[in-house]
């Protein structure tokens, strides 16, 4: 009689078997392609409690088991002011998936919700700073965030539509404020729909954005308060009906920028014109 797997074992097996092509392969490909890990790295795997970061934790655990070189992991949760239900859900899911958490508290939600303009931007900036600080205090030299392929392609469209520039997030970046620290995005090549599929297949339910600003906007159906990212998600979903490869093409385009065809670009803080090489 076959042994029954625990929820953690079942989730792990599905990553390397059923979802090997969709999850495991792009994860390890990103680690290799972008040189995200080095021997003896100590990575703070930052867990928000959502589907992306929880999956990232399981991917890192599997990689650590089979890696040719040693590296350490700390599964770091920053509580920015979750309500009791969300905090409990994060802890229960971590226990279910055998993810040992290191939790620290802040009052970021209170601070972000006290401002009327760009609370999401302020929240994101503060969360990043707190994560860097705590990770460094714990002896880590890298923090890992669960941004995926859709985040990357949505960001470049948002920058074009709403900021009049072309930019996106990159797979790794040095911290400007915390010396010796680096941010890595090992899920850079994983599609969001495959993350959702993995969670559904394993019967897992995770928290979403738990801030009071987002909850209020959704409750009131206030279109002006909804995020620009959600608008871009809807646009991509519409385009996918005509071109099923739209997300893949957008993602590949990020790696194939033809600077010779741009009238202007900016690098290291300086603007340049095509006329400099005309």
- Please report, for the domain that includes residue 41, its CATH number: 3.40.50.620
* Res 81 pLDDT > 80: yes
pLDDT of residue 221: 45
Mean pLDDT of 204-226: 60
pLDDT of residue 53: 97
Q: Does residue 212 belong to any structural domain of this protein?
A: yes
pLDDT of residue 210: 61
Domains of the chain: total: 1
Q: How confident is the model at residue 208 (pLDDT cuts 50, 70, 90)?
A: confident
Q: Does residue 1 belong to any structural domain of this protein?
A: no
Q: Does residue 26 belong to any structural domain of this protein?
A: yes
Average pLDDT, the chain: 91
In the sheet with 72-79, reading across from the earlier edge strand, the strands are 101-105, 72-79, 42-46, 142-144, 182-184, 172-174
Q: What is the pTM of this model?
A: 0.90
Percent of residues, the chain, with pLDDT higher than 90: 81
Q: Does residue 50 belong to any structural domain of this protein?
A: yes
Range(s) of the domain holding residue 216? 7-257
Q: How confident is the model at residue 215 (pLDDT cuts 50, 70, 90)?
A: low
Q: Does residue 267 belong to any structural domain of this protein?
A: no
Mean pLDDT of 56-66: 98
Q: Does residue 269 belong to any structural domain of this protein?
A: no
Helix (H) or strand (E) holding 217: helix 212-220
pLDDT of residue 265: 94
User: In sequence order, what are the residues at sequence separation of 6 or more whose Cβ sits closer than 8 angstroms to the Cβ of residue 237?
Assistant: none
Mean pLDDT of 144-156: 96
Q: Does residue 2 belong to any structural domain of this protein?
A: no
Q: Does residue 262 belong to any structural domain of this protein?
A: no
* Res 267 pLDDT > 80: yes
* Res 220 pLDDT > 50: no
**Are 134 and 82 in contact, with CB atoms under 8 Å apart?**
no
pLDDT of residue 223: 45
Measured between alpha carbons, how far is 200 from 261 in angstroms, rounded to an integer?
43
Find which of 104-108, 137-141, 158-162 is predicted with most confidence, using mean pLDDT: 137-141
Neighbours of 199 (CB within 10 A): 18
Q: What is the largest CA-CA distance in the chain?
A: 73
* Res 173 pLDDT > 50: yes
């Amino acid at each position: 009689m076959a042994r029954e797997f625990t929820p953690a074992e079942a989730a792990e097996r599905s990553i390397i078997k059923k979802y090997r092509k969709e999850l495991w392969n792009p994860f390890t490909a990103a680690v290799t392609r972008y040189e995200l890990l080095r021997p003896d790295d100590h990575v703070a795997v930052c867990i928000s409690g959502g589907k992306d970061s929880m999956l990232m934790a399981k991917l890192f655990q599997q990689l650590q088991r089979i890696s040719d070189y040693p590296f350490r992991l700390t599964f770091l949760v920053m509580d920015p002011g979750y309500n009791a239900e969300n905090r409990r859900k994060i802890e229960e899911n971590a226990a279910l998936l055998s993810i040992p958490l290191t939790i620290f508290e802040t009052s970021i939600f209170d601070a972000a919700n006290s401002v009327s303009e760009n609370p999401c931007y302020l929240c994101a900036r503060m969360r990043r700073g707190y994560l860097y600080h705590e990770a460094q205090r714990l002896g880590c030299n890298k923090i890992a965030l669960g941004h995926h392929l859709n985040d990357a392609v949505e960001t470049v469209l948002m920058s074009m539509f709403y900021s009049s520039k072309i930019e996106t997030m990159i797979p790794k970046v040095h911290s400007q404020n915390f010396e010796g620290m680096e941010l890595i995005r090992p899920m850079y090549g994983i599609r969001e729909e495959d993350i959702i599929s993995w969670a559904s297949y394993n019967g897992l339910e995770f928290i979403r954005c738990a801030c009071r600003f987002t909850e209020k906007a959704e409750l009131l159906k206030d279109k002006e308060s909804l995020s620009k990212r959600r608008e871009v998600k809807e646009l991509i979903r519409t385009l996918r009906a005509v071109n099923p490869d739209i997300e893949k093409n957008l993602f590949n385009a990020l790696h194939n920028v033809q600077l010779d065809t741009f009238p202007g670009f900016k690098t290291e803080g300086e603007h340049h014109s095509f006329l400099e090489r005309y």
